[in-house]
Amino acid sequence: MKFLVFLLICLSQHTFASPVAYTELLDYVQEAPDQGETNTCLFMASTGAMELLANKANGIKNPQPYGPYDLSESWLVWASNTVTKGFWDTPVLRFNNGYGVHISEWPYEAWSDYAINNSVWTRHPNFDKLPKTKLPKVETLTLFQKGGRWSTNVIGKAEIDQIKEALWKYKSPVLVNYNDEDYWHVILIVGYDDTLTGECYDTDPKECASDIGSF
């Protein structure tokens, strides 16, 4: 993985010894739609982070599709800014208006007759009148950054440990931006397990055959 910007969405902070695994956030993950090739990864990951935090704040485990906090990714594209922070922070902070829009009100479909459905970027004709879903406030914290938006750098064990620590320390998901071969992408990390075999923290692919552990 190359050029990463890590943003932590945090609600609370807890301090204890580093565990070999942290997976409790998996219980609150909302299934996401396929983004296909619509280039909406920043909004998909940010929406996923908010869905998880809302489910967690309301004690909703194993949320089902179209559950109370299954949110519209397209709404986040057009939501007004509560504050203009970094390029990566700003979308998720738009939820600090105090609400989002449910996926049932503004569905997200990446494909239309097997073609890319770019209408997911189109503003809803009744945008201002859509029903609102109340959401908790969030904060963002930059963990580290290597280079600029189009830089390519390789992270090491120290950065991996920093991501792992942030997960169990803040009990919140981590947004990741990375640039691989000049194509940047945003994903969401919700946990890790150092005991998993057959996977590895990919800092050196040559070591993967004998390494263990995975996000």
Closest C-alpha to 137, from 188, 98, 88: 98
Residue 100 burial by Cβ neighbours in a 10 Å radius (0-12, 13-18, 19+) = buried
Distance between CA atoms of 162 and 180, rounded to whole angstroms?
21
Residue 97 banded pLDDT, cuts 50, 70, 90: very high
pLDDT exceeds cutoff 60 at 165: yes
pLDDT of amino acid 183: 76
State pTM to two decimals: 0.86
Decide: helix, strand or coil at residue 187: strand
> Is the Cβ–Cβ distance between 109 and 33 less than 8 Å?
yes
pLDDT of amino acid 198: 60
Mean pLDDT within 3-22: 58
Distance between CA atoms of 139 and 136, rounded to whole angstroms?
10
> Is the Cβ–Cβ distance between 144 and 6 less than 8 Å?
yes
pLDDT exceeds cutoff 70 at 151: yes
pLDDT of amino acid 87: 82
Higher pLDDT, 145 or 172: 172
